[in-house]
Structure 1
Amino acid sequence: MPVFYRKDMMPMSQFSELLKEYIKKKDITIKALAEKCGIDRTYLHKILKGERKVPSVDFVENISLQLMLSTEDKSRLMELYNISEMGEDVYNRRKQVSKIIHDMANTNMEDPDALTFKTEVDIDSVPEISIYTDKRELRKNLQVLICSDVHNGSDIQVIAQPTEFLTNLLSIAAEGSESAINHLFFFDNTSGEKNTAKYNLDIFPFICHLAQKHEKYEAFYYYEGASAYFNSTNIMPNIMITNNFLIRTDSDYCEGVIYRSKPMVEFYMRQFEKFKTKCAKLLDHAVDILEYVYFWYDDNANFIGVDFQPCTMLCLTEDIYNAHALLPADAKKFVKAKLTMGKKALSEHKFVNLFSEKGLAEFMTTGEIFELPRNSYTFPTLAERKIMLQIMISLCENGMADYRIIKDDYFAVSKNLCINISDNTSLNIVARNNCFSDFSYLKISETSLVQAFWDYFQHFIDSDAVCSHEETIEILRSYL
C-alpha cells in the first residue's frame, strides 16, 4: 500500500517514509542494505528516522541502485531529496522555470475551443447588446467580431489575465495584421506568501507566446494579490475593446456581453488609457538585429547566457568581422561599437555562457553563428573559426569568461531559443524560427520573473548537468 504524506510533514521525513516503503517492498533488511551501500547500519537507521540528513545526491543514486528501483520510483525519491535540500517552494519554482524554458523552445499552443477561421461581418447587423450564456457561442462570436474589426484596421485593448484561450484568440485575430494589442493584467504580490513568483510564472508563457508572434503586442502590468482578485465579486472582470465593440466576460470566457455602442466604446477607451498610465511596461521588443544589439551590455551587472552554440560574437576579431558582416556601413560601425562594449564588460563583470557540445561541433563544422540572422553575415572559414575558438579558450583561462558545456543527457538545449539574464536586472529572450531568418527579441525587467530565472540558472550551473570549467576547456581544446 502506498504511503500518503501529510503536507505538514518535513521534507526529510517525507524522504525517510518513502525510503522505508521501498525497503519494505524489496523485502531487504536495513543491515543488508547498509552493507550493500557500504555505509554504517546505525547511520542508515538515523536517516530512516529523519534524524540525519541525506549526505548527497550520490547517496540517493547508490541506494536506488542497490534497491533496484524503477526509473519512476527513483525519480520520486530524488525529488524528495531535492525538496529536503532546497525547500519545497524553491524546488517547485526551479522546476517551473525549467518547464517554461522547455515549453518556450518546443510547444506550439493550440486551444481546441479556438476556431481556425476568420469571418467578416456587417457591423450594422450586429445587435447593440448581445448576451451569451453558452461558452461555445460566446467564444465563436468573440473571434468573429474581433477578427472582423481588426481586419478593418482596429487595434485591440484588453484588460484580462493571460490564459491559453486569450492567447490563441489574440494570436488568431492579429495574425498578418498591423494592429496593436495593448494588454493590461496583474502580477501577484501577495504579502506573506512564500512563493509569490508561482502565479507570475504560470502566466508568463502566454505573454511570451503573444509577444513572439506579434511584434505590436504590448504588455503592461500592475500588482495585486491573486487570491483577492479571484475571490472578488467582480463577475465580469475581462474587458476587450475594439473600434466598434466593447466586450465584457467572466474570467473563464463562458458567459459575457458584447456591446455595439460608440458611446460605450469611447467611455471605456478613456478609462482604459487612464488605467494604463498606472501600469508598468513589461517588455521591450527588438524588431531587427540592430535593435537587439542595442540591448547588449546595457545592464551593468553579471550575466548568464544560455544557447545551443557558445557565444562567438565576443571572439570575433576586427578582421573576421569586417570580412563577413553583411551590413550597411553605419550599422556595421554600430555593431562593432557594441562588441567593443561587450569585451570591456567582460573585464568588469562575470559572464557565464552555457551551451551544448553539439552546438560547438556545428559551429566548428559549418561556421554558422546562431546569434545572428543568416542574411547578416557570411560564414567564417575553418581557419577563422579556429582563431575564434582559441580566443574563447583564452577568455576562459584568463578568467574573463566562464564557458560551460551543458550535458545533453541532462538538459536538451534548443536551437530555437537563447536566454540571457543579468544579475536580478533583466531577462532577454531570443526566439528563432526554423530557417534562422526571423528572430524575436524580448527584454523583460519584472523583478519576480528575473529573480526566478536568475536563481534557476545559478543553481543549474553548479549541478551535475553542467561540465566544470576545466572539463569545458579540455573539450574546447579537442576541437582545435
Structure 2
Amino acid sequence: MSEFSNILSQFIHTKNIKVYPLSKYCDFDRSTIYKIINGKRKPPSPDVIDKMAEFMHLTPTEYAQFKEAYEITLIGSDNYYRRKSTENFLMHFPDNFSIQPGTESPASLRKDNISSPACASIQTQVELDYTLRSVLIKESCKGNGKVALFMQPDHKGLFSLLSSLNLRSSLEIQHIFCLSNHEILNKEHELYNLKYFNNIFPLYLRNLNYKASYFYDSIHSHFFNLNALPYFIVTSRYAVSFSSDYQYGIFYSDPEIISQFWNIFNSFQNKCIPLFQVFHLTPANAHMLQNISLPSSSSYLLLPEACFTPFISDEILAHALSPEISDRNKLLNFFSTFFKYTLNNLENMHVYFTKKGIRRFAETGLLREIPSDFYRPFLPSERLDMLQKLLYTCSQENYRMLKQPLEQLPVNLHLCVNETMGYFSFNNTEDQTTYLIFNETGLLSVFLDYLESLQDSSFYTSEETCNFIKYEIDNLQYQQLCSKRKSIAAPHQKGVSV
C-alpha cells in the first residue's frame, strides 16, 4: 500500500463512497480504481486526482492531505519533504524591513550582571539562558569584543538575541557548527542544514560581523549520543560549556581556562570551511560580480522582479549610471561587458519571477539586483524598452512567471544556482546589497534540486505571461500619454484668468 492508496481507502471508508460511481465519474473502469485503491497501480494524473476529490466532497484540509499523499507517492517521502522544506524557507525569506535593529543597546543592559567565580555549575535551562545572554551582552559592550560559538544553530533564543541587539560592528562573532554529511530530516520534516541556515540568516540581514564555518559529521552521533558538554561559547573574559539540550552547563572566568578554550576553538577553526563568501556590492568592488558570472551550463534564477540586466542597452546604461559615481567610465565598460555576457547566455538561463516583482519595476523603475547608489530610477521610456525585450524573451520560455504559492515570494529574495555555483543576494537592514556565495555544496544541491523539480503547474503559460507583460506595457504607455497631455496643457492653463 502506498501513502496515496492508504488515504484514498480511508476517505472511501469514512465517507461511505461507492467505488463504481467513483470510477464512472473519473472515466475509469472499476478494476482500475480497485488497483489504485490497493496500491497495485500508480496514482493517476493530477486532473483525475481533482475529480476524485470533487466526487468525495473533500474539505480544504482533506484536499491538502490528499494532494500531499499523492505527491509523496509519486516522488518519495524524502524528496517531498526536502523540497517542501526548501519551499517553506523561500516563502518565508525575510525582507530587510522585517528584521529591524533592536531598540535596546548592549550598554543599556549592563544590569545583566553575572557573578565571576573561577568555575560555577549551571543546573537549569533558565539559568543557562540567563548566563549566555549576560556573557554576550558584556562582551558586546567592549570596544573590540570577540565571541566564539561552538554549537549548533538550534537555540532560537540565542540567535534571536544576537540579531535583535544593537551590537557594535566591532564585535566579531565567529561560529563553528556541524553540518550533516547526508540529508536528514528532523521530526518536523525539515532539513537540518536548511533549518540551521534559516536560524543564522538574520545575522547576515543585520549586517553583523558574523563569520560562520562548518565541518561535516553525523549530527546525532557527534552531539547527542552521551556527549556531556559538547557546546561552548567563549569571550575575552568568560566561557560557558553546556549540553546539547541546553539543560545544564559550567561557567568559567579563570583566564587560563578562557585561554585554553580559545586554543581549542582556533584549532577547530583551522579544520573548518567558511560557509559563505560574503561581500557587499559597491562601486569600489563591482569587479566581484565576475565571481558570479553564469557558466555555459544551465542556471536557475529566482528573482521576483525578473532579471532585467540583459535588457539594459548601452544607451540606457550611459544615461542611468550615476554621474557622481567614482571611476564612472571604467564602470560603464565593465557593466556593458557584464550585461552583454548575460544576454549571450540567455539560452542557458531559467529565470522565474512574479507578477508583483514586474509590477514594482514598471511602477518605480527600480531593480533590487542593482544597488540604488549605482543609478537613478529608470525612466518610463527606458522601462518600456526593457519590458519589450522581456516580453520577447518570455515568448521563448526562458523566463517564466510563477503561480501560487510561489507567486508570493518576498521581493528581497534573489537566488541563483547551477551545478557549480550558487548565491543569495538581498538588501540588508542598512540597505546594502549583500551577496552570500555558497561554499557548501549541500545547500547548493538542495536549492538546485528544488528549482529543477518545479512542474509546469507552478507557472503561468507563456501566453498568460506575455498577456500580463503586455498589460503592464500598455498601462505604462497610457501613463506616459497622460503625462505628455498634462505638460502640453500646463502652459495654456497658466495664461488663463478667471
**Contact persistence 1:299–1:425 (CA under 8 A):** no
Which amino acid is the alignment partner of residue 337 of structure 2? T
Q: Report deviation, 1:442.
A: 1.5
Alignment length (residue pairs): 460
Q: In the alignment, is residue 146 of structure 1 matched against residue 140 of structure 2?
A: no
Q: Which is bigger in relative contact order (C-alpha 8 A, separation at least 6)?
A: 2
Which amino acid is the alignment partner of residue 388 of structure 2? Q
Deviation digits for residues 442-463 of structure 1, max 9, x if unmatched? 2223111110110101112x34
Q: Report deviation, 1:213.
A: 1.9
Match of 1:34 among 23, 33, 42: 23
**Which sections of structure 1, spanning at least 5 residues, go unmatched?**
1-9
Match in the other structure for 2:3 = 14
3-state DSSP class of the match of 1:416?
Answer: coil
Quote the Cα distance in structure 2 between the aligned partners of 1:221 and 1:292: 28
Match in the other structure for 2:293 = 298
Aligned structure 1 segments of 4 or more residues deviating by more than 6 angstroms? 106-110, 121-125, 193-197
Quote the Cα distance in structure 2 between the aligned partners of 1:102 and 1:35: 39
Q: In the alignment, is residue 217 of structure 1 matched against residue 206 of structure 2?
A: no
Match in the other structure for 2:180 = 188
Match of 2:422 among 427, 432, 436: 427
Match of 1:455 among 446, 449, 453: 449
Which amino acid is the alignment partner of residue 430 of structure 1? S
**Contact persistence 1:444–1:450 (CA under 8 A):** yes
Match in the other structure for 1:383 = 381
**Contact persistence 2:83–2:450 (CA under 8 A):** yes
Match in the other structure for 2:89 = 100
Counterparts in 2 of 1:342 and 1:232: CA distance versus 1, 3 Å: farther
**Contact persistence 1:161–1:185 (CA under 8 A):** yes
Q: In the alignment, is residue 161 of structure 1 matched against residue 152 of structure 2?
A: yes
Q: Report deviation, 1:184.
A: 0.5
Q: In the alignment, is residue 198 of structure 1 matched against residue 191 of structure 2?
A: yes
Deviation digits for residues 15-40 of structure 1, max 9, x if unmatched? 11211221233323111112222322
Q: Report deviation, 1:223.
A: 0.6
Quote the Cα distance in structure 2 between the aligned partners of 1:206 and 1:124: 27
Quote the Cα distance in structure 1 between the aligned partners of 2:360 and 2:328: 27
Deviation digits for residues 66-97 of structure 1, max 9, x if unmatched? 21111111111111110111111101100010
Counterparts in 2 of 1:332 and 1:438: CA distance versus 1, 3 Å: farther
Counterparts in 2 of 1:463 and 1:42: CA distance versus 1, 3 Å: same
Which amino acid is the alignment partner of residue 270 of structure 1? N
174-183 or 451-460, larger mean C-alpha shift: 174-183
1:245-324 superposed matches below 5 A: 245-290=238-283, 291=285, 294-295=288-289, 297-300=292-295, 301-324=297-320
Deviation digits for residues 246-304 of structure 1, max 9, x if unmatched? 22111133222221122222222122212111101111222244447724533524322
Counterparts in 2 of 1:343 and 1:408: CA distance versus 1, 3 Å: farther
Match in the other structure for 1:228 = 221
Counterparts in 2 of 1:351 and 1:59: CA distance versus 1, 3 Å: same
Counterparts in 2 of 1:123 and 1:30: CA distance versus 1, 3 Å: closer
Deviation digits for residues 395-449 of structure 1, max 9, x if unmatched? 455x6x811111245541212222222x133332223368x93443322231111
Deviation digits for residues 175-228 of structure 1, max 9, x if unmatched? 24421111011111159x799993212212112222222342111001111231
Counterparts in 2 of 1:91 and 1:206: CA distance versus 1, 3 Å: same
1:408-427 superposed matches below 5 A: 408=404, 411-421=407-417, 423-427=418-422
Match of 1:340 among 333, 337, 340: 337
Q: Report deviation, 1:65.
A: 1.1
1:95-134 superposed matches below 5 A: 95-105=84-94, 119-120=109-110, 126-134=116-124
Counterparts in 2 of 1:91 and 1:179: CA distance versus 1, 3 Å: same
Quote the Cα distance in structure 2 between the aligned partners of 1:318 and 1:218: 38
Which amino acid is the alignment partner of residue 381 of structure 1? L
Counterparts in 2 of 1:134 and 1:25: CA distance versus 1, 3 Å: closer
**Contact persistence 1:417–1:431 (CA under 8 A):** yes
Which amino acid is the alignment partner of residue 331 of structure 2? F
Counterparts in 2 of 1:479 and 1:454: CA distance versus 1, 3 Å: same
Q: Report deviation, 1:335.
A: 6.5
Q: Report deviation, 1:345.
A: 4.2
**Contact persistence 2:23–2:29 (CA under 8 A):** yes
**Contact persistence 2:153–2:200 (CA under 8 A):** yes
Quote the Cα distance in structure 2 between the aligned partners of 1:339 and 1:82: 45
Structure whose CA Rg is larger:
2
TM-score by length of 1: 0.86
Which amino acid is the alignment partner of residue 149 of structure 1? E
TM-score by length of 2: 0.83
Quote the Cα distance in structure 2 between the aligned partners of 1:57 and 1:294: 45
Deviation digits for residues 86-112 of structure 1, max 9, x if unmatched? 1111011000101111222379699xx
Between the two proteins, what is the percent identity of the paired residues? 24
Counterparts in 2 of 1:445 and 1:295: CA distance versus 1, 3 Å: farther
Match in the other structure for 1:325 = 321
Match in the other structure for 1:3 = none
Q: In the alignment, is residue 45 of structure 1 matched against residue 34 of structure 2?
A: yes
Quote the Cα distance in structure 2 between the aligned partners of 1:123 and 1:135: 18
Counterparts in 2 of 1:124 and 1:95: CA distance versus 1, 3 Å: closer
3-state DSSP class of the match of 2:458?
Answer: coil
Quote the Cα distance in structure 2 between the aligned partners of 1:306 and 1:453: 10
Match in the other structure for 2:486 = none
Which amino acid is the alignment partner of residue 419 of structure 1? L
**Which sections of structure 2, spanning at least 5 residues, go unmatched?**
474-498
